[in-house]
Amino acid sequence: MTRTPARLAVFGITAAALLFPLVNQNDADIDSAANALAFAALALGLNIVVGFAGLLDLGYAAFFAIGAYAYGVASSWQLQPAWSSFWEPFQWLDLVIRFHTAGGDVVHFQVSFWLMLPIAAAIAAFFGVLFGAPTLRLKGDYLAIVTLGFGEIVPIVARNIPSVTNGAMGLNGVAAPRFFGFDFGIDATPYYYVGVAIVAFLILTSQRLKDSRIGRAWMAIREDEVAATAMGVDRVRYKLLAFAIGAAFAGATGTFYVAKLQTATPEMFMFPVSVMILVMVVFGGIGSVWGVVVGALILQILQSWFLEDLSEWLHALGRFVGVDWLQHVELASSIELIFGLILVLMMLYRREGLIPAARRTRTLSLDEQTVQPARSGFTNLAARDDGSRLPLLEIVDLAVRFGGLVALQSVELSVPAHSVVAVIGPNGSGKSTLFNAVTGLVPTDQGTIRFAGEEIGRLRPHQVLDRGIARTFQNIRLFPNLSVLENVMVGMHARLVTGPVGAVLRLPATRGEEAAARERALEILSLFGNRLLPRAEHPAASLSYANRRRTEIARALAAQPKLLMLDEPTAGMNPAETLELADQIGSLNRYGLTVLLIEHKLDVVAMLADKVVVLDHGEKIAEGPPAAVRRDEEVIRAYLGRSAVFA
């Protein structure tokens, strides 16, 4: 969508939302609308966890419950500890009052609703981290089950600690909010407007997070966790952040919902509620901010208005046709059946939801579609070789074992700064394992790896990237549903500093950093001429094989590495494209980048490499300039195999 129609739509929707209670003065309708808004807020929160970060949370209602009970307990007569001087400062802050009863003076909590919104959000966020932490290393469905478990435990606990929550009977006497002396009371309208404000705020927050460094990090994790960590994203931190922020949304909404209902019971937060929110997200469009809002509103309105009307029509039809069952059907109670059907049908036929998160892209001109390979390398990079040849990467006596299998043994490798070193060897010789060991993707059993003098063998992948090593993968690991530009910008993750607060507030510093990052990403894309630039907004999965390789290299360059590690960069390219890329790697090297390269096209190696290292069966069997290595007997035997004894 281009800007103007989108802006108009948002303006129109806002106006409609604000005018609604003036147009339709029916209190029940306004109340339903307020409920719908609450669920829209919940859907937005779950969207962050499931849609942005790709973590399937089946127990999301737990955070809703936590926020609800937090406010409930803090503003009702449920808890009445005995009065003591400890409570005096709180009374002075107007958070509690001293209440006289027959049995003595007790504390009555009356924390303000407005204060409780952020506090409940924070408490829920804390639990988000708590419940999320055990799931960090689990894969998709197992993660879902654990979150389901937590989602079930919370309401059961709520039911079984009646001293705090009044158990199954539910909290009551929850105080209504007060706004500068105006008591909200039982009229639905003020709650409705608070709901609008909350949803508007959460939409804004979601949008801003999505279009920021944070959102990109989440989506990178969702698309390919391994590649994300190799590009500098700390997956532990970002997964926990997703859980925390998603939980915070639910916590605040819980406070709002309970304030409106003035009661809280465990039934309100059980598994079916978690599923309902999930259905809203799936129906509306996983990952799409407006999509989930629309999905939630439609399903809530369906539940509270439409189904009742539809039931009336079916009754009339039943009387007309004389079918008894039709006259008695109550669709409203079959809402869960409808939810089940929606889930199944959406998964089978429209997995992207009503309003898909993916964007439309323009078609390319003929010129942009066909590009001839060029042989000049990157012309707009100024050479920056400072002449130093100290070893940038030093590997000493490295061993990597997988169970009983020895993948690498006694490997020694030294990569001088500003050089190009190629690693070659037959299939299964350990080349990719070597790359994985250096970048922290597999643990090492022995030996040291030193980068710029620092021992990096124990670092996690995102820390290795941070030190200045960026890599590509043998079978290309791009983020398929992100655009080419977004892929490259993920590469910059470690070089930017915007955090979630900055992302939401969009301070000038953040805006500046984001614009500069975008500039730089486009610059890097332009290095590849007309191949990638026209496709900057296209999803990476739609690119040709060779272009995806180039995008992966661009992404690695975006991390401003000192050492670029390329795993078979020319695989799948025809000879002309191969030479073009080889020239480009050469110019990157002259620009100052140190390059460690796995290649099996030995003409490319001969062209580029200062030094060649040959691996076979996990050990180094030769090292030296390309020409010498090619003639080495051991090398030839490794590639062509030992001669038969019975020749």
Partner 1 sequence: MSDYGVLLQQVINGLSLGAMYALLALGFTLVYGILELINFAHFNVFMVSSFVGMWALELLGISGQGQVLTGLALAGTLLFAFAVTMLAGGVLGVAIERLSLRPLRGVPGTAAMITTIGVSYILFNVILLTVGAGSENYPNPLPVVRWQFGEVIIELKTLLIWGVAIALMMALQLFVNRTRLGKAMRATAQDPEAARMMGVDVDRVVVTAFFLGSALAGAAALIFGLYYNYTSFIIGYTAGLRAFTAAVLGGIGSIPGAMVGGVLIGLIETLGGQLIAVRWTDVIIFSILILVLVFVPTGLFGRAAPTKS
Partner 2 sequence: MLELCPILEFRGVDTHYGDLHVLKSVDYRIDVGEIVCLLGGNASGKSTTMKAIMGSVRPTAGDILYQGASLAGVGTAERVRRGIAPVLEARRLFPRMTVYENLEMGAYTRHRGPEFEEDLARVFTLFPRVEERLRQIAGTLSGGEQQMVAIGRALMARPRLLCMDEPSMGLSPAYVEQVFDIIRTINRQGVTIFMVEQNANMALSIADRAYVLQTGQVVLSGRAAELRENELIRHAYLGELKVQ
Residue number with CB closer to partner 1 (373 or 480)? 480
Tell me if 141 contacts partner 1 by CB under 8 A: yes
DSSP assignment string, 576-610: HHHHHHHHHHHHHHHTT-EEEEE---HHHHHHH-S
Residue number with CB closer to partner 1 (201 or 271)? 271
Tell me if 347 contacts partner 1 by CB under 8 A: yes
CB of 278 to partner 1, least distance (A): 8
In the numeric block, the tokens 């926990």 are attached to 240
Q: Are the beta carbons of 212 and 503 closer than 8 angstroms?
A: yes
Residue number with CB closer to partner 1 (319 or 350)? 350
Which of 186, 197, 34 lies closest to 114 in space, CA to CA?
A: 197
Q: Which of 79, 115, 145, 176 binds partner 1 (CB under 8 A)?
A: 145
Q: Which does 153 bind (CB under 5 to 8 A by kind): partner 1, partner 2, none?
A: partner 1
CB of 582 to partner 2, least distance (A): 13
Residue number with CB closer to partner 1 (348 or 382)? 348
Residue number with CB closer to partner 1 (335 or 588)? 335
Residue 109 main-chain phi, psi, to 5 deg: -80, 135
Region class of 624: left (phi > 0), else alpha (psi between -120 and 50), else beta: left
Residue number with CB closer to partner 2 (360 or 631)? 631
Count of positions (residues) in the chain: 647
Tell me if 326 contacts partner 1 by CB under 8 A: no
Q: Which of 98, 237, 350, 351 binds partner 1 (CB under 8 A)?
A: 351
Residue number with CB closer to partner 2 (359 or 637)? 637
* Spatial distance between the Cα atoms of 233 and 228, rounded to a whole number of angstroms: 5
Which of 539, 174, 115 lies closest to 358 in space, CA to CA?
A: 539
CB of 49 to partner 1, least distance (A): 13
Tell me if 344 contacts partner 1 by CB under 8 A: yes
* Spatial distance between the Cα atoms of 229 and 469, rounded to a whole number of angstroms: 12
Q: Write the CB contacts of 476 (distance below 8 Å, at least 6 apart in sequence).
A: 545, 548, 549, 552
CB of 586 to partner 2, least distance (A): 18
Q: Pairing relation of β-strands 96-101 and 594-598?
A: unpaired
Residue number with CB closer to partner 1 (7 or 350)? 350
* Spatial distance between the Cα atoms of 593 and 383, rounded to a whole number of angstroms: 10
Residue 172 main-chain phi, psi, to 5 deg: -135, 175
Residue number with CB closer to partner 2 (383 or 644)? 644
Residue number with CB closer to partner 2 (416 or 480)? 480
Total Cβ atoms within 10 A of residue 545: 10
Q: Which does 630 bind (CB under 5 to 8 A by kind): partner 2, partner 1, none?
A: partner 2
Tell me if 282 contacts partner 1 by CB under 8 A: yes
Residue 329 main-chain phi, psi, to 5 deg: -70, 140
CB of 224 to partner 1, least distance (A): 9
In the numeric block, the tokens 């480009």 are attached to 584
Residue number with CB closer to partner 2 (73 or 482)? 482
Q: Which of 29, 225, 610, 632 binds partner 1 (CB under 8 A)?
A: 225
Listed in sequence order, the DSSP H helices in 439-482 are 461-467
* Spatial distance between the Cα atoms of 252 and 101, rounded to a whole number of angstroms: 32
CB of 475 to partner 1, least distance (A): 15
Q: Which of 144, 244, 422, 476 binds partner 1 (CB under 8 A)?
A: 144
Residue number with CB closer to partner 1 (159 or 548)? 159
- For the window 237-276, what string marks contact with partner 1 as x by the rule CB under 8 A? --------------------------------------x-
Which of 288, 137, 164, 233 lies closest to 487 in space, CA to CA?
A: 233
Quick check: helix, strand or coil at residue 178?
Answer: strand
Q: Which does 323 bind (CB under 5 to 8 A by kind): partner 1, partner 2, none?
A: none
Q: Write the CB contacts of 21 (distance below 8 Å, at least 6 apart in sequence).
A: 30, 33, 189, 192, 193
Which of 413, 391, 390, 409 lies closest to 400 in space, CA to CA?
A: 409
- For the window 15-54, what string marks contact with partner 1 as x by the rule CB under 8 A? ---------------------------------------x
Tell me if 633 contacts partner 1 by CB under 8 A: no
Q: Which does 620 bind (CB under 5 to 8 A by kind): partner 1, partner 2, none?
A: none
* Spatial distance between the Cα atoms of 80 and 244, rounded to a whole number of angstroms: 30
- For the window 59-98, what string marks contact with partner 1 as x by the rule CB under 8 A? ----------------------------------------
Q: Which residues bind partner 2 (CB under 8 A)?
A: 426-428, 544-545, 568, 571-572, 575, 600-603, 605, 630, 636-637, 639-647
DSSP assignment string, 314-371: HHHHHHHHT-HHHHH--GGGGHHHHHHHHHHHHHHH-TT-SS-SSPP-PPPPHHHH--
Tell me if 169 contacts partner 1 by CB under 8 A: no
Tell me the residue ranges of DSSP E strands in 360-445: 391-402, 405-416, 420-424
Residue number with CB closer to partner 2 (320 or 545)? 545
Q: Which does 409 bind (CB under 5 to 8 A by kind): partner 2, partner 1, none?
A: none
What is the contact surface with partner 1 in residues (CB under 8 A)? 54, 56, 58, 134-135, 138-142, 144-146, 149-150, 152-153, 156-157, 159-160, 225, 275, 278, 282, 333-334, 336-337, 339-344, 347-348, 351
